[in-house]
Amino acid sequence: MSAPGSTALRRTRLHSLHRELGGRMVPFGGFEMPVQYGGILREHDAVRERAGLFDLSHMAQYDLRGDGVAAWADELTVNAVATMKPLQARYNIFTNERGGCHDDVLFYRLPDRWLLVVNAGNREKMWELLNAAAAGRPDVQVNSDHGQRALLAVQGPRAAEILGPLCDLDVAALKYYYCAEGRVDGAPAVIARTGYTGEDGFELFVDGRDATRLWTLLIEAGAPLGLEPAGLGARDMLRLEAGMPLYGFELSEEISPLAGGQGWAVKTAKPAFTGKAALVAQLERDDYDRIAGAVLEGRVPARSGYAVFRDGERVGEVRSASIAPSLGNRNIATVLVRKDAAAVGTALQVEIRGSQHAATVVPLPFYKRKA
């Protein structure tokens, strides 16, 4: 069985529309994706204040079918799968034997299958892992959509208002982290109240052949309410403000869910899962380096990889960083630091081009939307 995709940069169905909208295309996770259209700060504000439309078709969608899926997946991941209710969505992490992360994912429990959404950069690795794990299991079938589906996200406080009139179901009544099968302007869709921005919003799993029409329709329907197309730059800024991890930065094969601040998702009461022993040992020793939030003083931005010190001693490094418009344009960062430097209130220094800049550990998330 071969992995879907190849080494050349791939394009989503919306590629030419992104270009028409002035999207600046960059390589991301093996795809050519828009990092911005009108500007990252402007798109950020559109999502926080009104709504933004994202093309997330680069993320891989795998279908899991069979009576054994829940029990099988529970042995590969840290969070509970079998306890998911019909049409529920749940964040989860596939772990290695050392407790590190293969990928962080979303499971959606649909009537006839489970939909698994994995990071674009991990699509081949996860495809191989899922197929290897399903080998010899007649009660688990793993299928790829082979790029036939698209994923659009409408995110922001006005998302329900924009999407509602286009759907054949009451999207406003959809609960957070639940989904439904319905139609968007007649096109079949899984409509999920999920997202990666810290705002209310919906993700639409649709047939790739409907993607262009639905994107155009959402842009037109949303424009009067202030919706704008938003790229990966705004998405990264929004997720960082909201304290959500990005694979490769806050989580990796070396950074465990506990270290990455996702301990809430680790269900050690499950009888067995890959990496459980390592994670239980980490929990007991509680001595691992961990992700903390930091706010910098001054206007100089931190960048991923910059060294972090406390009282002249190196204690870790910056993993993600950004200016945070939702926090008065202060510079924020996630830092991976020793346990004793991760407590809220700790005074840190970030080394930027040879000089030390003061920072303070703050609670995550940096930003929480008003209920």
Chain positions contacting other proteins, by CB under 8 A: 24, 35-36, 39-41, 233, 237, 299-301, 303, 322-323, 329, 353
Its sign, for the CA torsion 199, 200, 206, 208, is negative
* C-alpha span between 318 and 293 (Å, rounded): 10
How many Cα atoms sit within 13 Å of 59 on the Cβ side?
A: 24
Q: How far is the CB of 301 from other proteins (least distance, A)?
A: 5
Smaller CB distance to other proteins: residue 192 or 332?
332
C-beta neighbour count of 204 within 10 angstroms: 27
Q: Give 103's contacts (C-beta < 8 A, 6+ positions apart).
A: 93, 94, 118, 119, 122, 125, 126, 247
Q: How far is the CB of 315 from other proteins (least distance, A)?
A: 23
Q: How far is the CB of 357 from other proteins (least distance, A)?
A: 11
Instruction: Classify 84 as helix, strand or coil.
Output: coil
Smaller CB distance to other proteins: residue 6 or 329?
329
Smaller CB distance to other proteins: residue 314 or 330?
330
Q: How far is the CB of 44 from other proteins (least distance, A)?
A: 9
Helix (H) or strand (E) holding 227: strand 227-229
Q: How far is the CB of 354 from other proteins (least distance, A)?
A: 12
CA 72 to chain centre: 23
Q: Dihedrals φ, ψ of 187, to 5°?
A: -85, 130
Instruction: Classify 134 as helix, strand or coil.
Output: helix
Q: How far is the CB of 307 from other proteins (least distance, A)?
A: 15
Smaller CB distance to other proteins: residue 267 or 330?
330
Per-residue tokens: 230 = 């938003």
Nearest in space to 102 (alpha carbons), one of 290, 258, 274 = 274
Smaller CB distance to other proteins: residue 224 or 305?
305
Smaller CB distance to other proteins: residue 40 or 342?
40
* C-alpha span between 110 and 117 (Å, rounded): 13
